Amino acid sequence: MKKKWSAKLVLIIFIALAALAVNWVKPLKMGLDLQGGTHLVLDTDMGQIDPADRADALNSVKEIISRRVDLYGVAEPVIQTAKVGDSNRLIVELPGITDVDQAINLIGQTAQLDFRTDIGSESAAASPSAYVFASTGLTGKDLKKAGVSFAQSGNQAGKPVVDLEFTGDGAKKFAAITQANVGKPLAIFLDEQLVINPIVNEPILDGHGVISGNFTSEQASILSIQLNAGALPVPVSIISQTNISATLGVASINQSVRAGLVGLVLVSAFMIIVYNWPGLIAVLGLIIYGLITLALYRLIPITLTLPGIAGLILSVGMAVDANILIFERLKEERRADRPFRLALELAFGRAWDAIKDANVTTIVVALILINPLNWQWLNTSGLVRGFALTLLLGVLTSLFTGIFVTRTLMRQFLKGDHD
Amino acid sequence: MINWLKYKFIYFGLSLALLLTGGYSLITSGLRLGLDFTGGSLLEFKVNAPINELIPVIETETDVASLQVSSDGSYILRSSSLDSAKNMVLQEKLKNQFGQVEEIRFATIGPILGQELIKKTLSGLVLAVVFILLYLAYRFRDKTFGICAVLAMLHDSLIILGAFSLLGVYLGVEIDALFVTAVLTILSFSVHDTIVLYDRIRENRRLRPQDSFAVLANRSISETMTRSINNSLTIIFMLLSLFILGGETTHWFVFALLIGTISGTYSSPFTAVPLLVLFKGKA
């Protein structure tokens, strides 16, 4: 008796083929350790900064540049501060990039932001060029971040506005400036260019300013990007650029890939020996798991490093877990003399509770570390975020292959006379 | 059926012995932080020598965190303990061995993992622990389940930290960015493994409401033992082959995962559940 192929099976074959196609067409981004990349040296101009604050300023340049090149922690750059004599420099290494312009684009405008007050005659308000501006000492260094939100009340209610959040120091300066300039403009300059010239409505003491001005949401978001991009505390220039080789030799990479293959063969053999036909189906599920994960890495794209390969190989071991849970359950149900079909459905049903609770916790832990809402008190960049993102992808993919794929295959191909 | 829980004080004793040894080492010597945490130096130089002959010579003077070739034909060396005095000695040595050495720059470099990142990751973990406590309290209708799962997770992370503190003291093993990801992986593995066992307790409680909690727990440990061992074996196969055959750079990363997997598997039936029985016995 031959059963017709179910729609689910067709879907699985389609997804596996699509993943295979992606793996075929799209290249995998490889990290500095596997492929090398660009090594840039940035110099900062600390002339305006008090010597005692220079280390802090350099660190904040580092943070901002990290955020620009590696928002989700998956690009795997190396960003380090470097001191040579009196100069405060930053080393930025970007994997897989050999073109300077591309690198500079990634680092973004190295613009400088500052706030200025109008000291010209007030009657000149008709044209902005008539203003005479004076620096207030409030600069990009004091701005923590800018963002877009919607006004809650007043005549602007429901319209997009730009929120400013200042650092502790910045909040104090901002409070003093707004107190002294109620009803007057406070201009924002980016690299000597006037960006916007909003009027101070009231003194703002808590370091949270709002710029409203009949913006469309697009205008508001452009302005907030400009403000964030300009939030570098000091001028920065690229002083040297060179390409670097991979940190690891080819030998080391080959060794690890071979080790991974040996491990995969061991796991497959183990599964087939212990669980027979269901074990073989689990191995098929694992192959599909590998294809989908690698396809996602190429699409996002996630930069693959040697430790990333090790993590991926480990996640294969963890992906088997759902199968082992189900198969052990299946054995128990069979021992209780249930017919194969019924035992199979019961095993999937009962194992699901455990799988669900165990995976919900992992998913939430991963989400907390990814911090998708960009809460400032959690990670907003860097390696922990990237790690959590790959963990999340691994769990979701393994749920799909461990449950949906293996169940469909088992329903389709196993009749129960082989176990 | 084996009476697993009869020996619970042996398990506690074993865990305690390991935790105290590791904890003592952690308190007295701490962890050996690598370049990723502490920063160090970067030396760019030109010398006429192949990279694989260069590394052993440099290693006689200082540690090599990484050595790369740039497109200008120079070498870029990163090292956590290279200072200007050592730099002079090193260049002298290279000159004797390979001929002329040209220093292009020598800079003090900062860490890759800042204090900020560590602090924020820890606050993230605190939030995760709070979530685990709440979620397990909700799913198992009982707050002790979450508390014991978190205690087992703490047990596993302290075992890894303690082991690496000892490795630092005796073998000079340094911890790096990879170590942080290994610990995070084990934290989630540990809770994952514990919940599977909890789920069986929940189910048995429904099927056999007449049994005492200790009997239920014991039955659940027996029933999930094969799954637990088989599952860990697949991960251990992977890790062992990476450890034995894999590249040098991932050696200690894989080792951290290996310790964590073993500890995470052990701690579900032998730490989390016995603790649970202990709490329940009192209640």
Q: What would the DSSP string read from start to end of A222-253?
A: HHHHHHHHTBBSS-EEEEEEEEE--SS-HHHH
- Calculate ∠ Cα B110-A370-A163, nearest 5°: 85
Distance from CA of A62 to the nearest CA of B (A): 10
Among A59, A89, A247, the residue with its CB nearest the CB of B66 is A247
pLDDT at A416: 62
Residues of A whose CB is below 8 A from B139:
357
Residues A184 and A259 in one domain: no
Q: Identify which of B1, B3, B10 has the alpha carbon closest to the alpha carbon of residue B266.
A: B10
Nearest residue on chain A to B40, alpha-carbon basis:
A82
Residue A245 contacts B where some CB pair is shorter than 8 Å: yes
CATH code of the domain in which B19 resides:
1.20.1640.10
> In chain A, what is the greatest distance between 2 CA atoms, to the nearest angstrom?
95
Residue A302 lies in a domain: yes
Which one of B109, B136, B167 terminates a domain?
B109
Which one of A171, A196, A229 terminates a domain?
A229
Residues near A176 by beta carbon (within 8 Å), at least 6 away in sequence = none
CB-CB neighbours of A151 under 10 Å: 14
Cβ contact, residue pair A383, B113, below 8 Å: yes
Residue ranges of A 58-77 with Cβ closer than 8 A to chain B: 59, 62-63
Q: Identify which of A395, A365, A361 has the alpha carbon closest to the alpha carbon of residue A379.
A: A365
Residues A202 and A339 in one domain: no
Q: Identify which of B276, B260, B126 has the alpha carbon closest to the alpha carbon of residue B193.
A: B260
Residue A247 contacts B where some CB pair is shorter than 8 Å: yes
How large is the angle between the packed helices A383-399 and A306-335, nearest 10 degrees? 30
User: B101-156: per-residue pLDDT in tens?
Assistant: 899 889 889 888 877 778 888 888 899 899 999 999 998 888 899 999 999 999 99
Pick from A313, A355, A389, A390 the residue to mutate for testing the B interface (most B CBs within 10 Å).
A313
Residues A361 and A303 in one domain: yes
Residues B22 and B134 in one domain: yes
Q: Identify which of A274, A308, A10, A263 has the alpha carbon closest to the alpha carbon of residue B178.
A: A308
pLDDT band at A196 (very low <50, low <70, confident <90, very high): confident
- Six token digits for residue A15: 């997804």
Q: Identify which of A212, A240, A236 has the alpha carbon closest to the alpha carbon of residue A224.
A: A212
How large is the angle between the packed helices B251-267 and B177-207, nearest 10 degrees? 20
Residues near B108 by beta carbon (within 8 Å), at least 6 away in sequence = A82, A83, A84, B39, B40, B41, B42
Residue B205 to residue B99: CA distance in whole angstroms: 77
pLDDT band at A4 (very low <50, low <70, confident <90, very high): low
User: A198-212: per-residue pLDDT in tens?
Assistant: 888 888 888 888 887
Q: Which residue has the higher pLDDT, A367 or A247?
A: A367
Among B108, B187, B192, the residue with its CB nearest the CB of A82 is B108
How large is the angle between the packed helices A383-399 and A250-299, nearest 10 degrees? 70
Residue A328 contacts B where some CB pair is shorter than 8 Å: yes
Residue A258 contacts B where some CB pair is shorter than 8 Å: yes
Residues A401 and A255 in one domain: yes
Residue A84 contacts B where some CB pair is shorter than 8 Å: yes
DSSP state of B134: H
Distance from CA of B237 to the nearest CA of A (A): 6
Pick from B123, B197, B228, B238 the residue to mutate for testing the A interface (most A CBs within 10 Å).
B238
pLDDT at A108: 62
* Element containing residue B196 per DSSP (H, E): helix B177-207
Residues of B whose CB is below 8 A from A328:
224, 226-227, 230
Which one of A218, A244, A270 terminates a domain?
A244
CATH code of the domain in which A64 resides:
3.30.70.3400
What total number of domains does chain B contain?
2
Residue A43 to residue A82: CA distance in whole angstroms: 9
Q: Is A137 helix (H, G, I), strand (E, B) or coil?
A: strand
Instruction: Flag whether pLDDT at B253 surpasses 80.
Output: yes
pLDDT at A259: 86
Instruction: Flag whether pLDDT at A1 surpasses 50.
Output: no
What total number of domains does chain A contain?
3
Q: Identify which of A70, A44, A239, A43 has the alpha carbon closest to the alpha carbon of residue A141.
A: A44
Residues B91 and B140 in one domain: no
Residues A260 and A396 in one domain: yes
Residue A1 lies in a domain: no
Residue A264 lies in a domain: yes
β-bridge mates for residue B43, sequence order: B77, B106
Residue A272 contacts B where some CB pair is shorter than 8 Å: no
How many Cα atoms within 13 Å fall on the side-chain side of residue A49?
Answer: 23
- Six token digits for residue A398: 């393994």
For chain B, what's the residue count? 283
CA dihedral B263, B267, B270, B273 (to 10 degrees): -170
Residues B127 and B265 in one domain: yes
Residues B17 and B51 in one domain: no
Residues A192 and A82 in one domain: no
CATH code of the domain in which B50 resides:
3.30.70.100
Residue A286 to residue A297: CA distance in whole angstroms: 16
Residues B174 and B265 in one domain: yes
pLDDT, averaged across chain B? 89
Nearest residue on chain A to B74, alpha-carbon basis:
A244
Residue B195 lies in domain: 4-34+114-282
Residues near A196 by beta carbon (within 8 Å), at least 6 away in sequence = A187, A188, A211, A213, A223
pLDDT at A19: 93
Residues B83 and B134 in one domain: no
Peptide bond into A301 cis (omega under 30): yes
Pick from A384, A385, A391, A393 the residue to mutate for testing the B interface (most B CBs within 10 Å).
A384
Residue A419 lies in a domain: no
Residue A405 to residue A285: CA distance in whole angstroms: 6
DSSP output for A48-107:
TS-GGGHHHHHHHHHHHHHHHH-TTS-S--EEEEEEETTEEEEEEEEET---HHHHHHHH
Pick from B234, B243, B251, B259 the residue to mutate for testing the A interface (most A CBs within 10 Å).
B234
Cβ contact, residue pair A328, B178, below 8 Å: no
Cβ contact, residue pair A263, B238, below 8 Å: yes
- Spatial contact of A292 and A234, defined as CB atoms under 8 Å apart: no
Which one of A229, A264, A291 terminates a domain?
A229
Q: Identify which of A100, A66, A65 has the alpha carbon closest to the alpha carbon of residue A386.
A: A66
pLDDT, averaged across chain A? 81
Q: Is A45 helix (H, G, I), strand (E, B) or coil?
A: coil
Residue A276 contacts B where some CB pair is shorter than 8 Å: no
pLDDT at A124: 45
pLDDT at A272: 93
pLDDT at A384: 80
- Six token digits for residue B244: 């034995």
Residues A27 and A57 in one domain: no
Among A247, A307, A388, the residue with its CB nearest the CB of B250 is A307
User: A394-419: per-residue pLDDT in tens?
Assistant: 889 988 998 889 989 888 887 765 44
Residues B12 and B147 in one domain: yes
Distance from CA of B278 to the nearest CA of A (A): 23
Q: Which residue has the higher pLDDT, A123 or B140?
A: B140
Among B66, B74, B199, the residue with its CB nearest the CB of A357 is B199
User: A168-186: per-residue pLDDT in tens?
Assistant: 888 888 888 888 888 888 8
Cβ contact, residue pair A310, B233, below 8 Å: no
Residues of A whose CB is below 8 A from B131:
361, 364-365, 368
Residue A288 lies in domain: 7-31+250-413
Residues near B254 by beta carbon (within 8 Å), at least 6 away in sequence = A310, B239, B242, B243, B246
Residue A2 lies in a domain: no
Q: Is A271 helix (H, G, I), strand (E, B) or coil?
A: helix
Residue that the structure tokens 């999937």 belong to: A348
- Spatial contact of A75 and A34, defined as CB atoms under 8 Å apart: no
Residue that the structure tokens 């095993």 belong to: A347
Residues B90 and B157 in one domain: no
Q: Identify which of B282, B274, B281, B278 has the alpha carbon closest to the alpha carbon of residue B11.
A: B274
Which one of B90, B109, B128 terminates a domain?
B109
How large is the angle between the packed helices B143-171 and B177-207, nearest 10 degrees? 150
How large is the angle between the packed helices B213-245 and A306-335, nearest 10 degrees? 140
Residue A418 lies in a domain: no
Residues A119 and A101 in one domain: no
Residue A392 lies in a domain: yes
Residues A95 and A126 in one domain: no
Cβ contact, residue pair B184, A316, below 8 Å: no
Residues B260 and B187 in one domain: yes
Residues A55 and A126 in one domain: no
Residue ranges of A 297-316 with Cβ closer than 8 A to chain B: 306-307, 310-311, 313-314, 316
How distant, in Å, are the alpha carbons of A278, A313, A329, B47 from that of A324? Answer: 10, 17, 8, 55
Residues A194 and A225 in one domain: yes
Residue B45 to residue B94: CA distance in whole angstroms: 11
Residue A354 lies in a domain: yes
Rounded average pLDDT over B253-282: 90
Cβ contact, residue pair B185, A248, below 8 Å: no
Residue A221 contacts B where some CB pair is shorter than 8 Å: no
pLDDT at A187: 84
- Six token digits for residue A307: 């430790």
Residues of A whose CB is below 8 A from B137:
none
Residue A241 contacts B where some CB pair is shorter than 8 Å: no
Residues A47 and A174 in one domain: no
Cβ contact, residue pair B199, A358, below 8 Å: yes
| Complex-level ipTM | 0.84
Q: Identify which of A350, A345, A392 has the alpha carbon closest to the alpha carbon of residue A368.
A: A392
A193-196 and B101-109: which strand pairing? unpaired
Q: Is A109 helix (H, G, I), strand (E, B) or coil?
A: coil
pLDDT at A356: 87
CATH code of the domain in which A341 resides:
1.20.1640.10
Which one of B76, B109, B142 terminates a domain?
B109
Residue that the structure tokens 């999340």 belong to: A392
Q: Name the most confidently modeled range: A4-13, A152-161, B52-61, B148-157.
A: B148-157
pLDDT at B148: 94
Residues B77 and B146 in one domain: no
